[in-house]
Amino acid sequence: MKTIDKYLFQALDNYPYSLEETIESLDYAFSYDSKNSMVLCLYGRIQAEQLANYEEAKNYFQEALANNIHALQVYPHYLQALILNEDYEEALKLADFALTIKGINKAEIFIRKAILLEVQHQFKEALKEIKSAKLYSIQHDYDSGIGEVEKRVKDKIDLLKDKKKKSQKSKKQSKNKKSKKN
């Protein structure tokens, strides 16, 4: 095992529970190879997930992919950062590209696309992506995450239906009150 791997494993093992130790191990790993896609990805995750510094996170993710376009672990985290930063068009392009890469966890990418559509209130399209995620899922543990996203999207659809019904009901009541006055 290379020394960089030792420090990278330490960083991954410590993240997100011990950020100080994570950063220390990452810095050592970075000093051995500043172009390592896993190291850059974890730096990006820290920027996005811990500091909400999405622009900086994007820089790390872009550098990681520039060094290794087949760094499969980068795509889901990069997509999440783009979604949170409201870079929706860029996220869609990245997701579509990621789905063409051999060996990528397609279920995970389809779920990110569903979340992207969800935040844009395109719930029916999101459900289609969830269906695709289910079709490509090969990990039992991942199925529960898909189910949670699906439930959340369906709850939002129901919420909108309820809101629409209440709106129609209040309009009807307003009309009835006006007609009684006349």
Could you report the per-residue pLDDT of 115-151, keeping only the tens digit for each?
999 999 999 999 999 999 999 998 877 788 999 999 9
Q: What is the pLDDT of residues 18-60, one digit of tens each?
A: 999 999 999 999 999 999 999 999 999 999 999 999 999 999 9
Q: What is the pLDDT of residues 58-90, one digit of tens each?
A: 999 999 999 999 999 999 999 999 999 999 999
Domain ranges of the chain: 1-104, 109-170
Q: Give helix 88-98 / helix 74-84 axis angle, nearest 10°.
A: 160
Cα–chain center distance at 81: 7
Do 149 and 117 meet the contact criterion of CB atoms below 8 Å apart?
A: no
CA distance 56 to 16: 18
Residue 6 is predicted with a pLDDT of 94
CA distance 182 to 168: 21
The pTM assigned to this predicted structure is: 0.88
Q: Which one of 3.40.228.10, 3.50.50.60, 1.25.40.10, 2.40.50.100 gives the CATH number of domain 1-104?
A: 1.25.40.10
Do 69 and 37 meet the contact criterion of CB atoms below 8 Å apart?
A: no
CA distance 54 to 32: 26
CA distance 3 to 160: 54
